[in-house]
Chains A and B, each alone.
Chain A
C-alpha cells in the first residue's frame, strides 16, 4: 500500500483496510521517525501495518463530537455516521477512517475510496515550508548574525519540530485553523516561533541552555498592552495559548488558568 500526494488530496492506492466496520474502512499508518521529521512532513508516508488499538474517533470537521468508540479491534459502538472522512492520531498509530463512498467538501463532489481528503493534509502542506526552514537553521554556522551568534543547537531543532507537529495534531481536536507561524533563529542558539495578527502577538522561544520553551503573549487592552510570559510545560498550555491567539480576547488572556503560573503585566 502506498500513500501519495496529489493536488489537495492524499491518494491511497489499492487500500487494503486493516479492518472494516460496516461501511467504514480503517487504515493505520505509522508515526514518522524523529530523525526524518525535520526533512519534511512527507516522511509520514512510511507505512506500517498494525491492528487497530483502542481509541476514540472524533469527527474532524465538526469539533468535538465523538461518533463512535472502539474498545478493541472487533467491538464498536456506532452512534452516528458522519458524511466526511475522519482522521485521528493517538501518537502511536495514525488512523484514517473513511466510508467506501465519501462526499468531499471542495473541488470534487464525489470521490471513491482511492480519493480521501484528510483535514491534516492541508495543514501539513502549509507547515511544510516551516519544517524546511527549521532544517536550514540547523546548518547555520557560528556568527551567522555577524554579532557572534551561536549555531542553532540540535536539541532546539528537535524540540521545535516536535512542538510544530503537536500544533498540527491539535488541529484535529480543536476544530479551527492554526495559522502558519514565522520561525526565526535566536543568537543564543535557540529558535523562536511567532504569530502576529492585529494587536495579538504570540511567541514561543525554545532554548537548550537551559532547556525550556518560554511563551510571550501580548494583546491590546483599554489600559495599554497586556502581556503574559512564562514557561510552557504541557501540551494543554500550548492548546490554551493557540486557542487564545486564534479565537480569544485580551480578557481571556488576562484570565488564563495556566498550571505554569504565568506572570501578567500591563504596560
Chain B
C-alpha cells in the first residue's frame, strides 16, 4: 500500500449552477515516502484544486485520499490533524507572513499543534536552518527581510510543523536564479533529512528536471501523463501540445535524434554534456 494514494478524485466548482466547471476529473496516483514529485500543467489545468484536496482544504465530491491506508476524511473531526501531517505552502507564501518577528511567525504552526515551548523553539531553529535563514534574522520583523528571505521564512513556518508530506505551489515563482536554486536545494535537503514526501507544483520543466523523480502532468483537469521524469520528458510532442515547454536542451537532443544520431534523451545540461562526450568516445550512449 502506497503512503499516499489518491483514488478517482473528481471535483466540480459551482455544482448545479450555470457556472458549473469541472476542475479535476478522475485523478488517481500514489506517492511513496521520501519521493519528490513534480506536478506540472499550465494555468487552469486543475493543479491547485488537486493539491487543496491533499490536505483536506477541499473535500472530495467523489473519490478518496488515503494517507497511510486511511481515508483522510474517515473522521471529519480529525481533519485538522491531517493538515499538520500534510503541509501546504501556497504560492507567494510571503504574503502570509504576519507576526512581529520571524521567530513568532515560524512558531505559529507548531504553537497551534499544542507543542511545548521547548519543542516549539527547537523546531523553529531547525526549520530556519533547513531554509538557510541566519539565526540573527529570527528576532527581526519578517517585513524587513529581502524577498527571497521572506519566502524562505514562510516555507520554514510550514516545515516547522514537520509534516510527512510537504506540498509546494510554485515555490520559485518570481525569484531570480540564485534565489530559485537556493529554495530547490533547501527542499531536497529537507527531504534527505526528514524522509518526507515532497510534491512540487511548477511551470518550470527545467526546475523539475533538476529535482523531481516522478512527474505528474495535468491537462484540462485530467492526469495526462505520469511516470518517471525520463519517461514523461521523452513525450515532448505531447507536452508541447498541452502548452508546456520541454527543456531547451531536450529540444536540441530531439532534433539531433531526428538527424539519425543515436543519442539518449536528456533534460539537463549535465546529462547533455555527458551524452555528447560519451557519444564521441564511440561508446554506447549512457
**A in complex with B:** no
